[in-house]
Amino acid sequence: MNGLNRQAVYHKANSAYAYMKDAQTMCLTLRTAHDVESVVLLTDHPDGWVKDEKSYYWKKTKIGMKKIYQTALYIYWQVEHHPSNHQMRYGFLLEAEQESLLYIERGWFSPEDHFIENDINSYFAFPYMHESEVIQAPSWVNETIWYQVMPDRFYDPGNLSWGSSKHFGQYDFHGGTLDGIREKLPYLKNLGISGIYLTPIFKSPTAHKYDTEDYMEIDPHFGTKESFKSLVDAAHALGIRVLLDGVFNHIGDQSVFFQDVLKHGEQSIYKDWFYIEQFPLEDSEDTRIVDHYRHFTPNMPKLNTINKEVQTYLIKVALYWIEEYNIDGWRLDVANEIDHAFLRILRTRLKDVRPDCYIVGEIWHHADAWLQGDQLDGVMNYPLGKPILEWIAANRLSTFEFQEQFVHALLQYSENVNRGMLTLLDSHDAPRLYEYADYDREKTALCLVMLYLLPGSICLYYGTEIGIDGREDPTNRKPMQWAKEFSIDFKDLIKRLSSLRRSNLALFTGNQFEFLEVREDLLILKKETKTQALYLLINQSQKPQCIEITELKNRKGRDLLEQQSILIGDEVVLASASYKIYKFENKQNKMVTKY
């Protein structure tokens, strides 16, 4: 007879599985296999060490943990606890049909092991709950619906033939301007947008501007500093935040700094600003020797952000646009390739000047090392959007696989960290949503619905609302279309979702999802607060489905997308390939069971 499946069990202290929600509250999560029937948290009792008739022993409090998720592979258990002395030593008592085991930092032990019972230093530890270490992104971030704009591809009010060019490469200039963005701010406001994220706007020889030539100057293709100031002021007047793209990992090879290195070689005063493997950097025919220096691409040499002069310069840049133009934050390009020490210094300097500025990084993989409260407020959360895209848009995941991957991505980070994320489904670096969904309107719409139900801030890529297509760079960087009428139009849906998210913020942005039903062709998700509950019903099959939801029988609620009252009878009928969002008021003293 096999015992408890120990290999499936996972917990890590001082991580997303053990963190401070606030100065008084610890949140602890444990993953197990399905054979575990119950989990009890063992932790410090307020009495501490107690003397009995023989000796002192470590008195413990026992707290039952609840199931928050049950996927095909795992059960996730969670509990919130308020330590009486602001610190914790703890372990887990796991009960399965065949055995009971104590799981602590040292490993596995019998609950009857009296030696380990008092070996306090063998247990998991959260040494002290310092209020200063509670991770908190600026409060406004969780409320923000971003709209990503590539300035060259958005709008030029003086170009009567705007959007007609069929060339989208990095040296194909379409003529979009900052004034063009400013003119379209009311349009964005009407969509429900509350933040614009601009790809680089600084002087550069390319259309995308990721090869910065001068961080202190607006590219003349886009306008002037005055036009940028007008854009920021106009956006703020409409309640729209402004996020700039900071390319601090590398710089353009046309910058004065790298040009000086090319000209003077080892005698250049800027040689230590870069990672030069050896000189010369050009041969006798002035051809670049690209393996003699580190670079993102050959025309984007990597900056040495350990160098004090580079640090001083980049901090000056970052502060300048905050202090002089009142921007609301920075999106840091390739943030995972910038050294941690510089990011800590940069954060400290920016937060000293503007405590509520937002610092978000481009990191495509697990980013816990950058999200400890000392570097970034959040990252572009591609991993949380991926399961949605691959289940709904690409139809390459089963519903069960979607649940597994979605829960894994959600629990990679604490609730506090998730509130600071910027989650998106497409961008200038990824395939367009409508094309990824194989030009399917309903799949695209459902992806957007799910995006709006995610915690943290969310981001739309310009043109998503009219179904602009495009796979990889450069076809995903087509110009926005203004004059042309599109048969594909998601604007009304986006307006509705934006309004719903704003007016039901706690419900829509909550971190907890409950999977009421998971079948191959059916998913029922629930989110709730103390007073309200939201249900997302998705029928992926080509046939109508009759669904019985016991807790909703004979309940009055509201269909949020159809904007009408509903009364649920014995069952809900979902049309083929359809979805619904319902909202209900929670009954008083209702007991909620997590499955």
pLDDT in tens, 70-109: 999 999 999 999 999 999 999 999 999 989 999 999 999 9
Got the DSSP string for 256-291? HHHHHHHHHGGG-TTGGGB-B-SS-SB-TT--B-GG
Tens of pLDDT, residue by residue over 515-562, are 999 999 999 999 999 999 999 999 999 999 999 999 999 999 999 999
| Residue 293 DSSP one-character state | B
Domain boundaries defined on the chain? 6-133, 141-249+305-507, 250-304, 512-585
| pLDDT band at residue 54 using 50, 70 and 90 as cut-offs | confident
Does 521 qualify as catalytic in the annotation?
Answer: no
Q: Round the average pLDDT of the chain to a whole number and report it.
A: 95
Give CA 94 to chain center in angstroms: 33
CB 491 within 8 A of CB 191: yes
The amino acid at 268: S
Catalytic residue among 333, 377, 426, 465: 333
- CATH code assigned to 512-585: 2.60.40.1180
- CATH code assigned to 250-304: 3.90.400.10
> Residue holding tokens 């050294």?
339
How far apart, in whole angstroms, are the C-alpha atoms of residue 321 and residue 344?
19
How far apart, in whole angstroms, are the C-alpha atoms of residue 441 and residue 540?
14
pLDDT given for residue 589 in this prediction? 41
Half-sphere exposure (CA, 13 Å, Cβ side) for 319? 15
Asked whether the domain spanning 512-585 has the same topology as the one spanning 6-133, the reply is: yes
How far apart, in whole angstroms, are the C-alpha atoms of residue 579 and residue 534?
13
Burial of 118 (0-12, 13-18, 19+ CB in 10 A): middle
pLDDT above 50: residue 594: no
Q: Which of 331, 508, 332, 351 is nearest to 419 (CA)?
A: 508
Got the DSSP string for 135-175? ----TTGGG-EEEEE-GGGT--TT-TTTT-----STT----
Strands (E), 223-382: 241-246, 295-297, 300-301, 329-332, 358-361, 378-379
Q: Who's near 25: CB < 8 A, 6+ residues apart?
A: 80, 81, 82
How far apart, in whole angstroms, are the C-alpha atoms of residue 146 and residue 451?
12
Cα maximum dimension of the chain:
92
pLDDT given for residue 53 in this prediction? 82
| pLDDT band at residue 1 using 50, 70 and 90 as cut-offs | very low
Q: Which of 141, 142, 135 is nearest to 374 (CA)?
A: 135
Tens of pLDDT, residue by residue over 460-512, are 999 999 999 999 999 999 999 998 777 789 999 999 999 999 999 999 999 99
Helix (H) or strand (E) holding 442: helix 441-451
Average pLDDT estimate for 243-266: 98
Burial of 246 (0-12, 13-18, 19+ CB in 10 A): buried
- pTM reported for the whole predicted model: 0.95
pLDDT above 70: residue 16: yes
Tens of pLDDT, residue by residue over 370-416, are 999 999 999 999 999 999 999 999 999 999 999 999 999 999 999 99
Catalytic residue among 362, 404, 415, 426: 362
pLDDT above 80: residue 592: no
With both helix axes pointing from N to C terminus, report the angle between 340-353 and 308-323 in degrees, rounded to the nearest 10. 30
CB 397 within 8 A of CB 387: yes
CATH class of this structure's domain 141-249+305-507: alpha beta
Q: Which fold has domain 6-133?
A: Immunoglobulin-like (2.60.40)
Does 339 qualify as catalytic in the annotation?
Answer: no
Q: Who's near 192: CB < 8 A, 6+ residues apart?
A: 145, 494, 495, 497, 498, 499, 501, 502
Average pLDDT estimate for 182-187: 98
How far apart, in whole angstroms, are the C-alpha atoms of residue 478 and residue 168?
6
Least confident of 109-123, 281-295, 446-460, 472-486: 472-486
Tens of pLDDT, residue by residue over 23-52, are 999 999 999 999 999 999 999 999 999 998
pLDDT given for residue 588 in this prediction? 52
CB 120 within 8 A of CB 89: yes
Tens of pLDDT, residue by residue over 263-273, are 999 999 999 99
pLDDT above 60: residue 590: no
* Beta partners for residue 62, in sequence order: 42
CB 547 within 8 A of CB 524: yes
The amino acid at 530: K
CA distances to 118, 223, 439, 477, 495 from 470, in Å = 62, 27, 11, 7, 23
Q: Who's near 573: CB < 8 A, 6+ residues apart?
A: 544, 545, 546, 547
How far apart, in whole angstroms, are the C-alpha atoms of residue 458 and residue 450?
11
Burial of 121 (0-12, 13-18, 19+ CB in 10 A): exposed
Q: Using the CB atoms, write b or e for 404-424: b if 16+ within 10 Å.
A: bbbbbbbbbbbbbbbbbbbbb
Centre a 10 Å sphere on the Cβ of residue 585 and count the other Cβ atoms it contains: 12
